[in-house]
Structure 1
Amino acid sequence: MCVVHIFVFLAAGLMAVIFAAKSSARTGIAAPLLLLCLGIAASFPSFIPDVELDPELVLAGFLPPLLFSTASNMPVVDLRRNAGMIIWLSMAMVVLPAIVIGAVIHLVFPEISIALAIALGAVVAPIDAVAATSIGKRLGLPPRLMAVLEGESLFNDASALVTLRTALAALAGSFSLWEAAGSFVWATVAGIVVGFIVGQLVTKARRWLADPVLSTSIALLTPWTAFFIAEEMEASGVIAVVVAGVICGHKATKHLSAADRNYSATMWTVISFILEHLVFLLMGLQIADLFHRAQTEHNLDFVWQASIIVFALLLVMRFGGVAVAVAGTRLSAARSHRKMQRLDATTSRFNDAVEQNLIESWRAEKLQRRLERTSADIEFAQSTPITRRGALVLSWAGMRGVVTLAAAQTISVTAAGEPIVHRSSIILVAFLVAVATLIVFGGTLPALIRALKFSPPSASTSKQEVSGLMTSLLDSAVAQLGPMSELEIDGRSLSPELAKKMESRIEMMMRSPARNQPSIAQSDRELFHDLQEKYLDALQDALDRERAIGAYSAKTFHAAQRRLDLFEDGLDMGR
């Protein structure tokens, strides 16, 4: 295919993505589902060239930026509070279905080896939350359910790929249980370490550059840097990318300017939009070729029967796995009353120790934040339980995506020197299962969410929460800096007029986001700018502390951060 044809193909694909996104807003059907159907329809006409999606392009090209973008926007507090559910769904409920599906397929179709059957189970086990989260955001799915879905989809690909690697090793005749367990531990631990180091170094480099364009250029390289370093060490590149994304996102507000973060956010929004939609179109375009290959090696009756069996097993195990996870959260919530009693007793002893000066001030402050965080976590567990309606949505959101197909195509053509005769049929089964989950679950999920009638917080409640947080931030800033009338900047005291204008500027920010600057005399502009910077630093420190405690919702923290960013954007307007 020449360069012109490639350009035309990509341009047509991008136009299809834009058309699907626009149609989704009008029809309510998820754009990934529309693109999948469009791709399937376009795969059969002879005048459209066959598309063979290189699995390495998806796993090493598309997957890292998509995971990094999601991870960098994932609040650490949400990961911490839902860690139990996320670990269970993204690890146990990937490995267990892979083994069960492998055993059943091998039992029903003895000609399919147990290793190849488990490989099939591994590639269809992880969910792809792109369609589910796009629907959930549009229809107001509760934030905790969104956090669980996004957290699960961040880590389940790593579990699936490690399980697939183990099954392929067994297929080649070199399987060892201890080696498999050791490889899994190494892939996980080394991936975490690589991601942590890359995230830290990238954040420091971006802070040192102090230029939005250069900083964003570094950010663009980060997911592939973490991925390929980890893969070269035979660790999990997926885990490395996710950890790097979480670290970069967590440290961004403290170490990067608003301009740096806004540039990066815009870049990742565009990249994620194009890639996560384009892959569904490419996925659909392959169906005709997959059917043709499967027909040459196997009766299609096997493909249909195996697809139905795998789909049914995934459905049953998804409901069962979510039920176990929700039962665990309810058990934890039931114990929260006793936890709160113990926390109250601990807090009382802590306050007595502080009053008697038995604890150093820095240690007391650290312990105080820990107690506040624990209290907020307990209150979160009590106030936002995952109900039966939430469990039903989590169970019904088990769509599979393009990673399933890409992972299936990494199955070797030969094993131990012999061709794998059922390879194309297994790939087609994985594809049909992924398509079925997208059509059945993705097509009905909007109606299900509407029928369950989740009640999002009212606009007035959200506004009050933001106002309460901003008031808390201002109180912390005043406690740190002292009264406005007593402030000095580089030895210069504030005039009453300048202090009044600063109070007016802060009051404006408290009411709503704004960049506007008051009129300041030329001689006072530098002083007023430094004063605003001082207050902004104090407000940002207070917001970072509140975010670590987690007493407010992620949406409220985002709104408060938006106000501080606009405040920062306006700093140079009056200079």
Structure 2
Amino acid sequence: MELLTLAIAGLTAIVVAAVLARRTGIATPLVLLVVGIVFSLLPGTPDFALEPDWILVGALPPLLYATAVQVPVIDLRRSFGMITWLSVTLVVVSALAVGLVVHLLVPSVSFAAGVALGAVVSPTDAVAATAIGKRLGLPHRLMTVLEGESLLNDASALVVLRTSLLAVTAGFSLGDALLDFVRAVVVALVIGYAVGHGTVWLRVRLADPVLMTAVSFIVPFLAFLPAEEAEASGVVAVVVAGLVTGHHGSRRFTARERLTERTNWLTLQFLVENGVFLLMGLQLEGLLRDLDDSNATPGQVVVLSAVVLALLLVLRVGFVGVQVLSERRQQPRLDAMRERLDEISDRVDTLADQGARRAGQFRRRVARGRADVAYQESEPVTARGGAVLSWAGMRGVVTLAAALTITTDVEERTLLVTVAFFVAVVSLLLYGGTLPLVIRRLGVSGTDPESRRDEVADLFSGITTSAVTALGPLDEVVVDGRAIDPTVAEEMVGWLERVRESRADASPESLSLASQRALLHREFIARMRDALHEEQAIGAYSTEALRQASALIDAQELRLER
């Protein structure tokens, strides 16, 4: 009963914090973190012992999967260089640098133990950053880098942590460490790819949104657990499985199945994501009590935390700065790539005689290359964007969970765990609390709504034209082996043409008429729902008929909202 009461209290706190966050503009994780810290310091508050497996095995896989499913593969590919630079190279360098500095400041902490601390404080947590970025309209490229970095840096950090802990007792070998890292990533890639494809194949054949969503809840653990048993990176396996599922699911799952799964996953992600931040804040009192029982002093913790925070910020600014300079110097390379693509495009026409399929493949590759060049030119990471990326280096609950995996054999373990906690908390409150101000002062923003509407209109026009062309002659249309009456085909094409023209026309008069139609449609839906409620109260119709009528009204409302 006590556990149930605490769970209900936690859910209530999460909902209240979310409402408060929307009204104040403060990210929900930050609100819950502060709430957890305040409650942990109140007299009579029960102890909340955070088990590392709750986060690393129970919460981390579904959170990573939920994010990976929504990230387009093409966006990760276009920013893969910057993402790996920050999620792998920066993590390794930060771990080594923190280890060296901590060892010099506290000689009782070995270099390997210091690297372990560096490994747990190196990965960033993009939850609060992306929540703020979406609300303030950060450019899409910056959001992709933040999300991609947080997806992959946990894997490199945990591998470095495992290696450093082994070095504490068994010594360190650079060659063995590199080999272990490569093997862990390769095995994880294979497992994640196999799980992603296998579960997509299974879910398509289930053809039931409820069953499909139930299976999707298992996918993160199907990828994570076998990878960990094989001593590979479970994090990488989960991310790959999520990317594969998201890439193929958009084409192979129905709209209803995708909508049902997305709603359920957003709910689960919201509860787990914010719950772990609340739980993180509740750890403060227990960590302070453990610190009193150790040889470490509060002053030592404060000094080490400040030094580690400053070092991490300097390293992040430097690494992001390298990428910003690289972006500035890439125009000649992009120009050369465009010229090369033009040459290939000219040669493709000569392949048409050898086979339309092969020529079509080359044209698709050329089009993709040109789109990549245009993307790099339209979405550069400027100095202002680099400043936002640098200031978005917040640490999260994974830092604390990973720190708790440091064994008691390590000297000054309590000091290391407490420093990791304070680094995570201060970075969340400092960077997360001031990131909105930084974004506004620098004036970093994404595409304006009018340009986005024009882009959507162009895209919609293009796909409707392609759809009409793919149908072929209207008097010869065949669908599923059944001939379609030419009159029906002409009516459908005429409807598509009218929709395309209405999307392309952005005049104030057309927008006004569209708004009137939307208002009238919404009013019709409200009146229909009132009438349905009246019929439910009377009870003249069966429950099934009422349910189906309600579903039809819901579908109309959903289409209107879209």
Q: TM-score, normalised by structure 2?
A: 0.87
Would the alpha carbon gap of residues 351 and 227 (structure 1) be closer, same or farther in structure 2, given more than 3 Å must change?
same
2:306 — aligned with what?
308
What does residue range 338-487 of structure 1 map to in structure 2 within 5 Å? 338-354=336-352, 357=353, 359-414=354-409, 420-487=410-477
Cα distance in 2, alignment partners of residues 328 and 495 from structure 1: 56
What whole-Å deviation, never above 9, does each CA across 1:506-551 have from its counterpart, x for those lacking one? Answer: 3565457999xxxxxxxxxxxxxxxxxxxxxxxxxxxxxxxxxxxx
Aligned residue for 1:318, secondary structure, equals helix
Q: CA deviation at 1:468?
A: 1.0
Moved over 4 A (4+): 507-515
- State the 1:242 CA deviation: 0.2
Q: CA deviation at 1:97?
A: 0.4
Name the counterpart of 2:4.
7
Q: Secondary structure of the residue that 1:411 maps to in structure 2?
A: coil
2:485 maps to 1:494: yes
Q: Distance in 1 between matches of 2:102 and 2:243?
A: 38
How is 1:224-235 mapped onto 2 (pairs within 5 angstroms)? 224-235=221-232
**Cα distance change of structure 1 residues 183 and 491 upon mapping to structure 2, 3 Å threshold:** closer
Contact 2:136 2:445 in 1 (8 A): no
Task: Confirm or deny: 8 A CA contact 1:85 1:326 kept in the other structure.
Answer: no
Q: Which residue of 2 aligns with 1:100?
A: 97
Q: 2:315, 2:483 → 1: CA distance?
A: 68
Q: 1:159 aligns with which of 138, 152, 156?
A: 156
1:345 and 1:378 mapped to 2: Cα distance? 15
Question: Bigger CA drift: 331-340 or 10-19?
Answer: 331-340
Percent of aligned positions with the same letter in both sequences? Answer: 45
Query: What residue is the counterpart of 2:44 in the other structure?
Result: 47
Note if contact 1:87-1:152 (Cα within 8 Å) is conserved in structure 2.
Answer: yes
Distance 2:291 2:411 in 1: 10
Aligned residue in 2 for 1:536 = none
1:124-143 CA-partner distances (Å, limit 9, x unpaired): 00000000000000000011
Distance 2:490 2:205 in 1: 35
Alignment pair present for 1:246 and 2:237 = no
**Structure 2 letter corresponding to 1:239:** V
- Supply the distance in 2 between the matched residues of 1:130 and 1:208 (Cα, whole angstroms): 34
Output one character per residue of 1:312-338: Cα deviation in whole Å (capped at 9) or x when no partner.
101101101111122233333441112
Q: How big is each residue's C-alpha offset from its partner over 1:337-368, in whole Å with a ceiling of 9 and x where there is no partner?
A: 121112112211222333xx1x3211111111
Amino acid at match of 1:462: R
For each residue in 1:157-204, what CA deviation from the matched residue of structure 2 results, as whole angstroms up to 9, or x when unmatched?
000000000000011224332221211111111111100000000000
SS of 1:379's equivalent in the other structure is helix
CA contact (8 A) 1:13 1:278 kept: yes
Report the Cα distance in structure 1 between the residues aligned to 2:406 and 2:447, rounded to whole angstroms: 47
- Residue from 113, 127, 132 that aligns with 1:116: 113
Give 1:148 shift.
0.3
User: Offset at 1:466?
Assistant: 1.1
| Separation in 2, partners of 1:422, 1:293 | 12
C-alpha distance in structure 2 between counterparts of 1:332 and 1:218, whole Å:
44
SS in 1 for 2:245: helix
Secondary structure, counterpart of 2:329 in structure 1:
helix
Secondary structure in structure 2 of the residue aligned to 1:52 = coil
Question: How many Å separate the matches in 1 of 2:201 and 2:106?
Answer: 55
Unpaired runs of at least 5, structure 2: 504-513, 519-554
Q: Which residue of 2 aligns with 1:557?
A: none
The alignment status of 1:270 with 2:267, answered yes or no, reads yes
State the AA in 2 paired with 1:234. E
Evaluate the alpha carbon distance shift between residue 233 and residue 455 of structure 1 in structure 2; reply closer, same or farther with a 3 A threshold. Answer: closer
Q: What CA distance in whole angstroms lies between the structure 2 residues aligned with 1:146 and 1:343?
A: 28
CA distance in 2, matches of 1:491, 1:453: 57
Q: Deviations over 1:415-471 (max 9, x none)?
A: xxxxx3411111000000111111110000011111122343333322221111111
**Equivalence map 1:133-152=2 (5 Å):** 133-152=130-149
How far the C-alpha of 1:300 sits from its partner, in A, is 2.2
Q: Is the 8 A contact 2:140 2:446 kept in 1?
A: no
Distance 1:227 1:509 in 2: 45
- SS of 2:407 mapped into structure 1: coil
Q: For each residue in 1:22-73, what CA deviation from the matched residue of structure 2 results, as whole angstroms up to 9, or x when unmatched?
A: 1111111111111111111111122110111101110000000100000000
Task: Name which of structure 1's ranges 426-435 and 296-305 shifts more when overlaid on structure 2.
Answer: 296-305
Distance 1:202 1:488, change over 3 A: closer
Give 1:500 shift. 4.3
Correspondent of 1:218 among 206, 215, 222? 215
Q: Is the 8 A contact 1:333 1:381 kept in 2?
A: no
Amino acid at match of 1:326: V
Q: Is the 8 A contact 1:89 1:325 kept in 2?
A: no
Residue 65 of structure 2 is matched in structure 1 by 68
Q: Partner letter of residue 463 of structure 1?
A: R
Separation in 1, partners of 2:81, 2:186: 18
Cα shift readout 1:256-294 (whole Å, capped 9, x = no counterpart): 111111111011100111111111110010011101111
> Which residue in the other structure is 2:194 paired with?
197
Query: Which of 315, 318, 321 is matched with 2:316 structurally?
Result: 318
Quickly say closer, same or farther: Cα 1:92–1:376, change in 2 above 3 A. Answer: same
Deviation of 1:504 (Å): 4.8
- For the residues of structure 2 that align with 1:229 and 1:82, how far apart are their CA atoms? 29
The aligned residue for residue 87 of structure 1 is: 84
Q: What corresponds to 1:132 in structure 2?
A: 129
Which segment is superposed worse, 334-343 or 371-380? 334-343
Please give the alpha-carbon distance, in whole angstroms, between the structure 2 residues aligned to 1:463 and 1:388: 28
Q: Name the aligned partner's letter for residue 295 of structure 1.
A: D
Aligned pair in 2 of structure 1 residues 36, 455: CA closer, same or farther (>3 Å)? Answer: closer
Q: Relative to structure 1, is the Cα distance of residues 394 and 493 closer, same or farther in structure 2, using a 3 angstrom cutoff?
A: closer
The verdict on how the C-alpha distance between 1:145 and 1:219 changes in structure 2, with shifts beyond 3 A counting, is: same
Which string of whole-angstrom CA distances, capped at 9 and with x for unpartnered residues, describes residues 356-386 of structure 1?
x1x3211111111000000110111112111
Q: 1:462-502: CA deviations, max 9, x gaps?
A: 22211111111122222222133442444534152x23432
Question: Using the alignment, how far apart are the partners of 1:38 and 1:493 within structure 2?
Answer: 63
- Are the aligned partners of 2:351 and 2:359 in contact in 1 as well (CA < 8 Å)? no
Provide the alpha-carbon RMSD of the alignment.
Answer: 1.9
Matches within 5 A, 1:158-197: 158-197=155-194
Q: In the aligned structure 2, how far is the partner of 1:334 from the partner of 1:24? A: 45
Paired residues, number: 507
Paired amino acid for 1:47: G
Q: Is the 8 A contact 2:399 2:424 kept in 1?
A: yes
TM-score by length of 1: 0.85
Question: Is residue 2:301 matched to residue 1:291?
Answer: no
Structure 1 residues 334 and 273 mapped into 2: Cα distance closer, same or farther (>3 Å)?
Answer: farther
Q: Please, which moves more after superposition, 259-268 or 65-74? A: 259-268
Match of 2:327 among 318, 326, 329: 329
1:20 to 17, 21, 33: 17
